[in-house]
C-alpha cells in the first residue's frame, strides 16, 4: 500500500458532485495501493446513519463497503497520536482529533495521506500527504 485515503477522498464516490481529480487519482493509484483508517469508516458510517437514507446506504454498499483494507487503531497508533497531538498543541496549531488520528495512522504505517483537506494536513509535521484536489 502507498496511500491512506482521508475521509474527504474516500467519500467522493458517494457525493452528488464528486471531485473528479480525487476520483482520477484514486483510479490511477488503484485500490491495491490504497487503504483507509478505521476512523474514516466511522466518519462515513456516522454520516450515513445521520442521513438515514436507504438510497445512500445502497450506494455505499455498492461502491465502498469492503473495497479497501481498513487499518485498525492500535495502541501504537494511539501513542503516535498522543505525540502528534501534544506537538500540535505546543505549536499552537491544534488539528481536529479525527484528522490527527488519520495522520497518525498514516505516519505509523509509513503511508502518504491522500486528502482534499490541505489546510489541516499541511500543518501536521512529519506526515506525508498529497492534495488530490488538483
The percentage of residues in the chain with a pLDDT greater than 90, rounded to a whole number, is 98
Convert the pLDDT of each residue in 79-98 to its tens digit: 999 999 999 999 999 999 99
User: How far, in whole angstroms, is CA 100 from its chain's centroid?
Assistant: 10
- The domain total for the chain is 1
User: Is residue 1 pLDDT above 90, yes or no?
Assistant: no
User: Is residue 14 pLDDT above 90, yes or no?
Assistant: yes
User: Is residue 23 pLDDT above 90, yes or no?
Assistant: yes
- For residue 63, give the CATH number of its domain: 3.40.50.1010
- In the predicted model, what is the mean pLDDT of residues 89-112? 96
Helix axes 97-108, 75-91, angle to 10 degrees: 120
User: Is residue 116 pLDDT above 90, yes or no?
Assistant: yes
Q: Residue 11 sits in which domain range?
A: 3-131
**pLDDT category, 109, cuts 50, 70, 90?**
very high
Convert the pLDDT of each residue in 57-74 to its tens digit: 999 999 999 999 999 999
Amino acid at each position: 500500500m502507498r496511500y491512506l485515503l482521508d475521509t474527504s477522498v474516500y467519500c467522493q464516490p458517494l457525493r452528488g458532485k464528486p471531485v473528479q481529480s480525487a476520483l482520477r487519482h484514486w483510479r490511477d493509484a488503484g485500490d491495491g495501493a490504497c487503504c483507509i483508517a478505521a476512523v474514516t469508516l466511522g466518519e462515513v458510517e456516522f454520516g450515513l446513519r445521520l442521513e438515514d437514507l436507504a438510497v445512500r446506504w445502497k450506494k455505499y454498499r455498492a461502491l465502498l463497503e469492503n473495497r479497501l483494507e481498513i487499518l485498525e487503531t492500535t495502541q501504537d497508533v494511539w501513542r503516535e497520536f498522543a505525540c502528534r497531538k501534544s506537538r500540535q498543541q505546543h505549536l499552537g496549531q491544534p488539528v481536529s482529533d479525527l484528522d490527527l488520528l488519520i495522520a497518525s495512522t498514516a505516519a505509523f504505517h509509513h503511508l502518504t495521506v491522500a486528502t482534499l483537506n490541505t489546510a489541516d494536513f499541511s500543518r501536521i509535521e512529519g506526515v506525508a500527504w498529497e492534495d488530490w484536489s488538483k
